[in-house]
Amino acid sequence: MANLTEVALAIKNNDRRSAARMLTEIIQETPSAEAYYLAARLSKDKDKARAHLKRALSYDSRHKKANQMWIELGGKPLQVKKGGLPIVDRVVGFFQDFGTNIPGIGPILNRMHPNVRGGLVAALFIMLIALNVILLMQFLGTPASAAEENVVVQAQPTMDATATPIAAPSYEEIVISAGTLESYFADNGYGMRPIANYIGDTASQQFLLTGQLPYDVYVLVYDSLAAASSDQYRDMYDATYVADGFGNVRLYFPINVDDETVDALVELVADLTLTVPAPIMDENNAA
């Protein structure tokens, strides 16, 4: 698979077609702030470029080039409190940005979400500090106390040092039916009015979301996960609609709208389409 360095080189050489082809594959496999920033550079439509930049800044709000282009396209700059960022935000930002400009490992780190990148760097720092403390204690040779010399050490039961740690849960996207989604939306105060093939023919079932909404929101239910991931933007009524969602469900809403309404609706979709896979039981350990 192509990388972001090749995309940037293609853009520099004005090979926009190759850059767009490589970037589409990268965004589907490993989306990142840098990837969406490059997508904004490729877009000739300002609204679509702003939508790409909004995605980029959701991955990394401190991405300098994305912030600069966002302001150039009329976006409001991110507000920082007078006196600079709080000390906690500075520390978090340090871990999230550490190593992103180092040749070799920088492109790899930039593909990660800032929170994941910051967690890995913080864990590495903690390990280094702990190792230095251990080495320092061994160098100083702390003597055992007299009381410790008279302590009778009792044998402890042997522990299995090879036990496998329990992995953190990972979510996977699933396919749900339109009926299940409609019932869940109804429980949360929203309705789904069918608009069969009103938007396009890529989604087998299409709806207009009804309820107390400040703008039109369309719900598209696809037959598969692959079909749902193929659509990102649609132009309707002289406006650009951007997609968000999980599984085989996508919500289409106008760009540059309030995040609270969008986030609340996407969270409802995530409740149904994101699930933790059941652990695979070992037949020898099954009781």
Confidence of residue 130 (pLDDT cuts 50, 70, 90): very high
Q: According to the model, what pLDDT value does residue 77 have?
A: 73
273-285 pLDDT, tens per residue? 877 666 655 555 5
Q: How confident is the model at residue 199 (pLDDT cuts 50, 70, 90)?
A: low
Distance (Å, whole) CA 41 – CA 205: 33
What pLDDT does 183 receive?
A: 92
**Span 1-77: which CATH code?**
1.25.40
Kindly report the average pLDDT of the chain as a whole number: 78
Segment 62-80 mean pLDDT: 82
Question: Where do the H-state alpha helices sit in the chain?
Answer: 4-12, 16-29, 33-42, 46-59, 64-72, 87-97, 106-110, 114-140, 146-149, 178-187, 225-229, 259-273
Phi, psi of 162 (to 5 degrees): -100, 10
Q: Which residues contact 144 (CB under 8 A, 6 or more apart)?
A: none
Comparison of pLDDT for 185 and 235, the residue scoring more:
185
Q: Which of 19-23, 88-92, 138-142 has the highest mean pLDDT?
A: 19-23
208 versus 202: the higher-pLDDT residue is 208
Distance CA 220, CA 172 (A): 20
Residue 82 confidence (pLDDT) above 50 = no
Tell whether the model's pLDDT for residue 287 goes beyond 50.
no
Confidence (pTM):
0.39
Is residue 89 pLDDT above 90, yes or no? no
Is-contact 232 223, C-beta < 8 A?
no
Query: Is the pLDDT score of 81 beyond 50?
Result: no
> Pick the residue with more confidence: 99 or 136?
136
pLDDT of residue 210: 94
Q: Of 235 and 192, which is predicted with more confidence?
A: 192
pLDDT of residue 283: 54
Joined together, the tokens standing for residue 13 give 């050489």
